[in-house]
Structure formats: C-alpha cells, structure tokens
C-alpha cells in the first residue's frame, strides 16, 4: 500500500527517504502532513529546544495569575483571559 518517497528537507535542502513504514505510522496516528525535515535536522531542532524561534533563549514568558480554586498567586506560560479559570499547578493536577 505504501511505497518509499524521496522528500526534500526544508531546513538543509537535502533529500531524505520517507519510508513505507514511516508513512504507515503517520497514517495510524492520523498525521495529515509529510515530514518537512530530514532526521538530522529534526534531531538538531529537538536538541536546541527550538530556542532560536522565540529569541528568548528558550525560556517562556510567564504571566501572573490567581488560582481560581485556592486563590494562591501563580504564573502561567500564556496570557490569562477572563473567560477561563486559571489554576496553580497543584490544583490543576488535582482536577486532572
């Protein structure tokens, strides 16, 4: 059903093989897109923690909030909005 495909890495421009086995795995997981990078470039991005994308050395900008459950001040890695409750890590884990 699947056959090996040769793709071009969008990072380094080299050719790489998207094997039949990989295609089958992608199909089983419901992935819609083919890989855009070769294994070497994917591994390098993982090792770098995608630090270059944010420009802040890999650290997330944290935002102050108050836990909706216990009222304790906390920080979250996203901009809090008034339409959804924010929980501290302890309360969040208890709700899971």
pLDDT exceeds 70 at position 6:
yes
Are 20 and 4 spatial neighbours (Cβ–Cβ below 8 Å)?
yes
Verify that 68 and 50 share a domain, yes or no: no
Could you tell me which residue, 58 or 75, shows the higher pLDDT? 75
Verify that 34 and 70 share a domain, yes or no: no
Verify that 13 and 43 share a domain, yes or no: yes
pLDDT exceeds 60 at position 74:
yes
Expressed as residue numbers, the domain containing 69 is 63-95
Q: How far apart are CA 53 and CA 95, in angstroms?
A: 32
Verify that 49 and 78 share a domain, yes or no: no
Bridge-partner residues for 5, per DSSP?
18
> 21-35, pLDDT tens digit by residue?
999 999 999 999 999
Q: How far apart are CA 2 and CA 48, in angstroms?
A: 32
Verify that 23 and 42 share a domain, yes or no: yes
Q: Count structural domains, the chain.
A: 2
pLDDT confidence of residue 62:
87
Verify that 38 and 75 share a domain, yes or no: no
Verify that 44 and 73 share a domain, yes or no: no
Mention every residue, 6+ apart, whose C-beta is less than 8 A from residue 62: 75, 76, 77
Verify that 11 and 29 share a domain, yes or no: yes
Verify that 48 and 24 share a domain, yes or no: yes
pLDDT exceeds 80 at position 41:
yes
User: With 0-12 CB in 10 A as exposed, 13-18 as middle and 19+ as buried, what is 86?
Assistant: buried
pTM exceeding 0.95: no
Are 40 and 15 spatial neighbours (Cβ–Cβ below 8 Å)?
no
């Amino acid at each position: 059903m699947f056959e090996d495909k040769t793709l071009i890495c969008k990072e380094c421009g080299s050719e790489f093989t998207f094997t039949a086995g990989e295609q089958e795995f992608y199909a089983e997981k419901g992935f819609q897109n083919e890989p855009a990078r070769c294994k070497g470039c994917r591994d390098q991005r993982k090792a770098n923690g995608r630090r270059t994308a944010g420009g802040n050395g890999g650290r997330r900008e944290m935002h102050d909030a108050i836990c909706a459950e216990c009222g304790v001040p906390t920080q979250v890695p996203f901009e809090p909005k008034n339409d959804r409750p924010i929980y501290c890590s302890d309360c969040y884990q208890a709700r899971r």
